[in-house]
Structure 1
Amino acid sequence: MKLTEPQALNRVAAYCSKAERCEYDVRKKLVAWELESDAIKRIIDRLKKERYLDDARFAKSFINDKMKFNKWGKAKIIFELKKKKISESIYNPVFEELSGDEFEEQLMHILTIKAKSVKGKNDYDRKTKLIRFALGRGFPIDLTIKCVNKLLGGDYEESVS
């Protein structure tokens, strides 16, 4: 669908006002509307000037939402931010504000719930499945092993492949 520059500006401003958006998502939408590159640049510059678009604000909101609602770990959040072309200099300060305890509490919570449904031949098998689950959610191996040991007891070694 081809739009004029004023139509695209109005639509994308409404798009940005509904939720936090990043420049990458907005640019993708403008390209799909078949706008010329100079028009896209003018629209993005105007959105930034009028504070509809702010990658730092987006990163803070994204990190908060993914931690609280999706129960993701730091690695998975960073992976998704990189896919959206958010630079390290933008998201690192947001992670520095967070304490490591928040991730540990969150991991303990999801592991406690998951442990109720995980079946295994023995304790080692159950722990391995829980560790794989936590790693898939983006939590670091050292924190994962610490939480699994705290939850199920014992000393699970870091020699997991």
Structure 2
Amino acid sequence: MKQAAHKTHTLKEATVKLMQYCAYRDRTHKEVEEKLKSMNMIPEAQEQIIMELMRENFLNEERFAKNFARGKFRIKKWGKKRITNELKIKGISARNIQTGLKEISETDYLTTFHEISEKKWETIKETSVIKKKKKLVDYLQYRGWESHLVFDKANELSKLND
């Protein structure tokens, strides 16, 4: 039985492959390191390739954090807590997370929060106001909206129903 041979890459081949990988969409350092490990690149080569990707601006965590924050807020309607946690999991630095969050204007943030809260409130089919409030709170907190906003909004909406 013949063992499967691992494909080896020269430094140049691996660099080009990783440039394509990063050009497809923004990547984190962690993703690039995992990709290089899966290609069986030695640590010295990994380091060299990462430096080259950064020099050529294929790998830029600040840009990644900004795009991620904007995208998750606009498309998935995530709050800042969820965006922050997801970026931490991806290994993004606290400084880049803060820079990313600055991409979301406070006005847009609050407008979106009120819109999704009110829309969700209308769709919750619950006769008990307490249960309805709990469902709204759970929904908004899961999406990473700050507790003070969530509880204030839940109280405001439940008072309108009284």
Same fold (TM over 0.5): yes
Asked if 1:148 is matched to 2:154, the reply is yes
Aligned CA distance change for structure 1 residues 11 and 97 (closer, same or farther; 3 Å): closer
Once superposed, what is the RMSD of the aligned Cα atoms? 1.8
Partner in structure 2 of residue 36 of structure 1: 42
Task: Give the AA of the match of 1:67.
Answer: F
Partner in structure 2 of residue 82 of structure 1: 88
- From 72, 82, 94, the equivalent of 1:66 is 72
Conserved? CA contact 2:78–2:145, under 8 Å: yes
Q: Secondary structure at the match of 1:21?
A: coil
Q: What is the Cα deviation at residue 33 of structure 1?
A: 1.1
Summarize deviations over 1:106-144 as a string: whole Å, max 9, x none. 222222332233122411210111011000000111111
Count how many residue pairs are aligned between Structure 1 and Structure 2.
Answer: 154
Conserved? CA contact 2:70–2:103, under 8 Å: no
Q: What is the Cα deviation at residue 97 of structure 1?
A: 5.3
Q: TM-score, normalised by structure 1?
A: 0.87
Q: Secondary structure at the match of 1:119?
A: coil
Conserved? CA contact 1:2–1:35, under 8 Å: no
Q: TM-score, normalised by structure 2?
A: 0.86
Q: Give the greater-gyration-radius structure (CA).
A: 2
Q: In structure 2, how many angstroms separate the alpha carbons of the residues matched to 1:15 and 1:93?
A: 24
Partner in structure 2 of residue 94 of structure 1: 100
* Alignment map for 1:14-29 (pairs within 5 Å): 14-29=20-35
Report percent identity of matched pairs.
29
Q: In structure 1, how many angstroms separate the alpha carbons of the residues matched to 2:18 and 2:34?
A: 11
Residue segments in structure 1 that go unaligned for 5+ positions in a row: 156-161
Q: What is the Cα deviation at residue 26 of structure 1?
A: 0.9
Partner in structure 2 of residue 114 of structure 1: 120
